Amino acid sequence: MSADLVEYTLRGRVAVIRFANPPVNSLGLALRRALAAALERMSGDAAIDAAVLVGANGTFSGGADIKEFGAPEAFMGPSLWSLNSMLDESTKPVVAAIEGVALGGGFELALSCHHRVALSSAKVGLPEVKLGLLPGAGGTQRLPRIIGIEGAINVMLGGEPAPVGLFAKSPLFDAIVDADLITAACGIAEKSAAAVAAGQPLRRIRDAKIREPDLEGLLQFARNTAKTAFKDYPAPLAIIDCIQAAATKSFEEGIAEEQRLFKGLFLTDVSAALRHVFFAERAASRVDGLPKNAAVRTVESVAIIGAGTMGTGIAINFLNAGIRTYLLEVGKEALDRGVERIRATYDGQLKKGKLDAGKLAQRMALLVPTLDYAGIASADLVIEAVFEDMAVKEKVFATLDATVKQGAILATNTSTLDVDRIAAVTRRPADVIGLHFFSPANVMRLLEVVRGAKTAPDVLATAMALAKKIRKTAVVSGVCDGFIGNRMINQYSAQALAMIDEGASPQQIDAAIEKFGFAMGPFRMSDLAGNDIGWHIRKRQYAEGKISTPAVIADALCELGRFGQKTGAGWYDYKPGDRTAHPSSVVGKLIDEKRAAAGRPIRKLESREIIERLVFALVNEGARILEEKIAQRASDIDMVYLTGYGFPIWRGGPMRYADSVGIYDVVRRMRAYAALPGADTAFWTPAASLQRLAATGGSITGGAA
C-alpha cells in the first residue's frame, strides 16, 4: 500500500481510509492499487469491525482518471470494477464519507459502499455523458436501485453535479451533516458493525429491487428526448438501455450490459473528441510563460467606451459579476439607448424567470452612464468598443492615455486591427491588451485575449482571471489580422464564396455544413452578423493589398444594401419579425449575372467537397497560426471554434477533426483541391507543419485520446 496515496488510521474499531491523488483524487491505477490494498488490510484486520472511506484534499473523488484513458493503465487491475466487487464481498461495513464532490467513478465507489454520509455542501453526479461515456463502474445499475428510474435518468443524462440535499428524501444518504463528517461516518460504521454482529445482513444497493409501475412509459419518454436533444451523441441512448437492464435483469446481467456498452462508447470518435474538449477547456487557461499563480491587478470597476450592441453586451457581463461598470458615449441619445438596451435585456430575463426583481435592481445600480472621459478616470479596466476603424480607435486610446489613472488596464475589443499599433499611441503600451468579445457579448462564451508585443504579464494574468469571473472561455492569441478566430473564418468564407463562383448556391453550402454539425452555415451566419461587417473589413484589406481576388458577388450584394437580417435581405430574404431564411430570387439572379460576366464554367459540387473545402480551409490556416505562434496550442484553436463559431462540439473542433480524419488524408485532399481547374493553388498549399505531420504520421493536437 502506498503510504502517500492512502492513509490508514484507527478510530476505535473503525479504520479510516483516507485516499489522495491531487487535485481531485481521480482513481488512477496507482490509487486503485493502494485502495485495494487498504480494503484487503481492513478485511484481514482483526482489530477493526468497519471502515470509513474518505477523500483527502477536501473532496471525495472526481472519478476515473481521464488522463489515463487511452493508455493501458485505464483498464489494468485492480479496476474500479475490482474495487466495487471487493466492497460487495466485504463482510465488514464500509461507509463513504463525502465532502467536495463525488463524481463518476468516485460516486460509483460510494454507491458500492454499504452506507453514505455527506457534508451538506457536497455534490454528487455521474458526468460521464459529457465525455461521451456512460457510468461504467456499476452506476447505471446501482443508482436506479437507490433513487428510482426517473431520478437516475435525470442524473445520468444531465451529467451535472447535484447538491446532496436534492436526495435528502431518498435512502441514498444515511445522513447529511453540516460538520464533523468523520465523526458522523464513524458513528454510522459502528452502528452498522453492531447490527452485523447481531446477525443482520449488510445493506448493499445491488440487492435492492426496482419498483417502477410505468417503466415502459418512462423509458420511451427518455429515449424520445435523447433522440432529439442529443441527436449526434450515442451515450444517452446507451445509458437508457443500461437503466432498462437494471430494471428488468439480474444485477450481474445488468453489469455485463453496462460493461459491454461502456467499452463500445469508449472507442467512439465522439467520446475521444469530448475527452479532448475536457482537457482543451482547462489547457486554454494556461498561458505560456506565466506561472499559475502570477500576480494580478485589482479590478473593482470597469469602463466600457461605446454603448452600441457590443459595448452594452460587454457591460452586462461585468454587471452580472457584481462589478461597478461605467458606460461612456459621446452623445446623450446614444448613451440613453445603450442604458435602455441593458435594461431591456434584464427585463427579458425577468419575464422568463431567469432573474428576480431584486437582482435586476442590484445590477442596474452598478451601472454608471457617463458622457465624459473624466467620469471614468478612476476605472481599473477600460474596454474600448467603438467603430472598427484604426483612426477612431487611435483617438480613443490617446484620450484614455491622457485621462485614465496610471495602472489601469486599457483594452480594445477590436476583432481584426493591430493591437500593437493601438498600444503605440499611448505612453503605456505594457498596460494595453486586446479583449475580443463575440456578439452577442453577454451570451457568447468565447473571449480572445490578445497579447500585444509589450503587454505586461500581470495585465495578461488579470485578463485571464477576469475572464473566469465573468464566465468566459478565454483563449490567448498573438497579434495578427483577425487573431485566431476571424483570421481562420476569413479563409472559410473565402472558400464559401469561391464555391458560389464555381456553381454552388448559398442554401446548398449552408445545408451541407449544417448537416456536418455547424450551428449555422456561412451565409446564414453572415446574414445574422451583418454582411456589411465583412465588407468593411474586405475594403480595408483590398486597400492594404491583403486580398488578391476580390469577392465580387459578396461586394455586389452589399452594394445593393442587402446587409442581412437587419435590412430584411441578405444572402436570403426575410419576412418582417421572422428570422427564417428564404432562398432569394434576387440573389440567384445576381449570382447568375456575375458568373456569366466572369465567364467561368459552372459545375455541380457534392456535399463532401463543400464540407472538406470549408473545414480544411480552417485547418490549414489554423496550422499556420500555430506555426507563427499566434495560438499557443492546437487545442486553443479548437476552443475558439467550439465556443465562438458553432463548430460541433462532438467533433472536438477543427484541429481535432483533422486528426480524426488523419493529417495524411487532409493533406491529400488539399492537394486534390489545388489540382481542380482554376483552383487557387496558393490557398491549397498545405501548411509546412501539416506536410511534416502527413509524412511522419503525427497528429496536430498531440494525440490526446
Grid cell for residue 495: 472558400
612 closest CA partner among 509, 520, 523: 509
Asked if 51 touches ligand 3H9 (CB under 6 A), the answer is no
Asked if 63 touches ligand 3H9 (CB under 6 A), the answer is yes
* Rounded CA separation 17/419 (Å): 55
Secondary-structure breakdown of the chain: helix, strand, coil percentages, each rounded to the nearest 5? 50, 10, 35
* 298, 380 contact by CB (below 8 A): yes
Computed from CA positions of residues 523, 525, 530, 531, in that sequence, does the dihedral angle turn out positive or negative? negative
Backbone dihedral region for residue 104 (phi beyond 0: left; psi -120 to 50: alpha; all else: beta):
left
Q: Which is nearer to ligand 3H9, 286 or 582 (CB)?
A: 286
* Rounded CA separation 619/617 (Å): 5
Q: Which is nearer to ligand 3H9, 103 or 305 (CB)?
A: 103
Q: CA of 104: how far to CAs of 98, 262, 271, 325, 602, in Å?
A: 13, 13, 15, 40, 54
Q: Tell which one of 29, 32, 38, 65 touches ligand 3H9 (CB under 6 A).
A: 65
Asked if 67 touches ligand 3H9 (CB under 6 A), the answer is yes
The 82-101 contact track toward ligand 3H9, x by CB under 6 A, reads: -------------------x
The 277-296 contact track toward ligand 3H9, x by CB under 6 A, reads: -----x--------------
Angle at 282 between CA 277 and CA 288, to 5 degrees: 120
Q: In the complex, what is the shortest distance from the CB of residue 110 to ligand 3H9, in angstroms, rounded to a whole number?
A: 12
Region of 65-73, 149-157, 343-351, 549-557 interacting with ligand 3H9 (CB under 6 A): 65-73
* 669, 657 contact by CB (below 8 A): no
337-366 binders of ligand 3H9 (CB under 6 A):
none
Asked if 66 touches ligand 3H9 (CB under 6 A), the answer is yes
- Is 108 one of the annotated active-site residues of the chain? yes
Q: Tell which one of 105, 132, 311, 338 touches ligand 3H9 (CB under 6 A).
A: 105
Asked if 414 touches ligand 3H9 (CB under 6 A), the answer is no
Judged by CB under 6 A, the number of residues near ligand 3H9 is 24
Of the residues 68, 128, 329, 448, which is catalytic? 128
Asked if 655 touches ligand 3H9 (CB under 6 A), the answer is no
* Rounded CA separation 69/464 (Å): 29
- Is 150 one of the annotated active-site residues of the chain? no
Q: Which is nearer to ligand 3H9, 82 or 309 (CB)?
A: 82
**DSSP for 635-700, written as a single string:** HHHHHHHHHHS---GGGT-HHHHHHHH-HHHHHHHHHHHHTSTT--TTTTSPPHHHHHHHHHT--T
Q: How many Å from the N-terminal Cα to the C-terminal Cα in the chain?
A: 30
Q: DSSP label at 356? A: -
* Rounded CA separation 667/383 (Å): 41
Q: Which is nearer to ligand 3H9, 127 or 530 (CB)?
A: 127
Asked if 58 touches ligand 3H9 (CB under 6 A), the answer is no
Asked if 521 touches ligand 3H9 (CB under 6 A), the answer is no
Q: Tell which one of 93, 132, 135, 429 touches ligand 3H9 (CB under 6 A).
A: 135
Of the residues 108, 190, 384, 621, which is catalytic? 108
Ranked by CB distance to ligand 3H9, the top (closest) residue is 104
Asked if 564 touches ligand 3H9 (CB under 6 A), the answer is no
Q: In the complex, what is the shortest distance from the CB of residue 54 to ligand 3H9, in angstroms, rounded to a whole number?
A: 16
8-27 binders of ligand 3H9 (CB under 6 A):
23-24, 26
* Rounded CA separation 603/63 (Å): 53
Region of 29-37, 57-65, 369-377, 447-455 interacting with ligand 3H9 (CB under 6 A): 57-65
* Rounded CA separation 415/645 (Å): 14
Q: Which is nearer to ligand 3H9, 62 or 622 (CB)?
A: 62
The 365-384 contact track toward ligand 3H9, x by CB under 6 A, reads: --------------------
Angle at 562 between CA 333 and CA 391, to 5 degrees: 50
28 closest CA partner among 137, 84, 130, 105: 105
Residues that bind ligand 3H9 (CB under 6 A): 23-24, 26, 62-67, 80, 101, 103-105, 108, 127-128, 131, 133, 135-137, 139, 282
Q: Which residues are catalytic?
A: 108, 128
